[in-house]
Structure 1
């Protein structure tokens, strides 16, 4: 999911959507919501299985990865939309964050290639993909914290250059690092390692 989110954000930025603040057309928006909902259903099914109940269908890691990829696409669009509409003064509300089927298709294709590389466990790609996934996790947490902190600090609708976010970005970076360190400590404590 996080690798897909990072990839989708990168593609949208490279396609000139960095200041976009418009909603995708309804058919694309419905598709993105559907992708997130499919992951939610798959997650509930996996949880049902893990607590010893009979799942609706047999959970599989490849299916979990594919539904996570879809959710990552939908969440990337949401994050960019929230960031731009919350903080940017120069947001272009007439430019949709994602505007055409062709764009969504390109994003899905790029993510599908990465997903295939992950699922095939191609040796020389394992470390770069794991590193990109780590950047995706940290980046998602950072962007979420940055947007929240900047809004709380009354930066909403004032940003024209990303350098204006230096102060809230510092707090967001500290918060993200603390959260990741706390999660690592909790995992080590629970697993005894």
Structure 2
């Protein structure tokens, strides 16, 4: 119910904020305005940017848009414990707003999932293994949506990407990899 920020158009023709729609998708895979099913949009993640809307906001509401951008940055900065000592998978690349099921078979990642459950953490980081830990590797912060055990006894963790990060420092202690992260905001073309 605020000024549009990163506006996109849904397949049913409504203009909404990209991040608001992604948050809404966490609960219901449909348009927040008309309730039209958007499973196809959720699946293929091909969002249509509304350049005209962005230009109109810049031209006619520059102060309100500046305030909205400031509020967005403050909200990102206020996310609790997002950037320090985050458990990290060094396996593959994940992307923001993409569903990522993870089959956990290695012992160190069993430890990571167990520790997340013990402390009630619902987020961890994931990026490709890197040769020189802590030097600029990039990845995505993931949020755990569901956790289940498959017949072979290993867990499958259903996650979704939240935001991109750069690794500032890397730590390994008691079989658990953690990292200090810096959020990366995507630049528009």
**Normalised TM-score (structure 1):** 0.26
Larger RCO: Structure 1 or Structure 2 (Cα < 8 Å, ≥ 6 residues apart)? Answer: 1
Q: Pick the structure with more helix per residue.
A: 1
